[in-house]
Amino acid sequence: LRKKLFIFYYYGRGNEENARLDYEKFYKRISGKVDFNRDLTIDRAFCPDVRDLMKRLRDLTDRANDVDELYLHFSGHGSEAGIPYKDWILANDNFVALLRHPKIKCCFFSSCQSADLARLASEAEIPVVLGTAGANDIENDYAIDFQNEFYSKLFDSFTYKAAYEYAVTYAD
């Protein structure tokens, strides 16, 4: 199966440094997996405003003919209401509506307070969804360690559950 991991960095003004650090510590490391897995491509987009995030997500799903499975990773600040930007919040239910696509197999919401977003995505029949429990905040270095280990194992043919359990153990 041809797989694509697409990482969306969303951030508001003043949070550019967090996106850059995640890019340095996560994207650059995990993109090395492409060298060992010919059926995997990894790409990313920096989305400084909500319109850019929505457009890039629509473009990705509209042009998904070259892959069998999409894995979407969202990295940025979250709130219980949705994805906060400078002057607007992309509400969780509106965001999930953009994720309804048969090739999307996994959504990983690496943001604080993403429990409601993850629940809605799961209800939208996305097979695998990861987010934070409750309204918990997550520390950036822990999140980066966790996502590195999760994807490394997932793309080394671990099951979702085994990759998750390994990442929990490693990052803890």
CA 89 to chain centre: 18
pLDDT digits (tens, 9 = 90+) for 122-169: 999 999 999 887 555 667 788 888 998 999 899 888 999 999 999 999
Q: Which residues contact 37 (CB under 8 A, 6 or more apart)?
A: 155
Residues 128 and 71: their CA atoms lie apart, in Å, by 9
pLDDT digits (tens, 9 = 90+) for 74-131: 988 788 888 887 777 888 998 899 899 999 999 999 887 888 899 999 999 999 999 8
pLDDT digits (tens, 9 = 90+) for 122-131: 999 999 999 8
Q: Which stretches within the chain are classed as H helix?
A: 16-22, 28-30, 50-62, 92-97, 115-123, 140-154, 160-171
This prediction has a pTM of 0.89
Within a 13 Å sphere around the CA of 94, how many CA atoms are in the beta-carbon half?
12
Q: How far is CA 101 from CA 30, 40, 96, 97, in A?
A: 24, 19, 10, 9
